[in-house]
Amino acid sequence: MIKALTTGEDGRPLVVIGLSFGNLDRFRAAPGDTFIKVDGKEMGLPVDIVIFSGETEAHCAASLPIGPETKVHIDRSQKN
């Protein structure tokens, strides 16, 4: 996995995560069980980042600890 912090063309901070085919194979082998955590302190970020997989958006949502303060955005513009 490659992790980078840069600035996007719009001037906003951009976190870039590059997953190898091996990382993707782990996701396909055990959807919902495989989590990759990016330590924000390691990259100088104020937050950590978690990347995970699920069969559908509903499966992904069911895997998250969603509470009243959680802001969720489901991007339905992406094709499988």
Instruction: Quick: pLDDT tens for 1-49.
Output: 888 889 989 998 888 888 888 888 888 887 666 788 889 999 889 999 9
Are the beta carbons of 49 and 39 closer than 8 angstroms? no
Q: How far apart are CA 19 and CA 16, in angstroms?
A: 10
C-beta atoms surrounding 53 within 10 Å: 19
Q: How far apart are CA 80 and CA 68, in angstroms?
A: 29
pTM of the model: 0.68
Q: How far apart are CA 23 and CA 52, in angstroms?
A: 10
| pLDDT of res. 41 | 93
Q: How far apart are CA 22 and CA 9, in angstroms?
A: 30
| pLDDT of res. 79 | 56
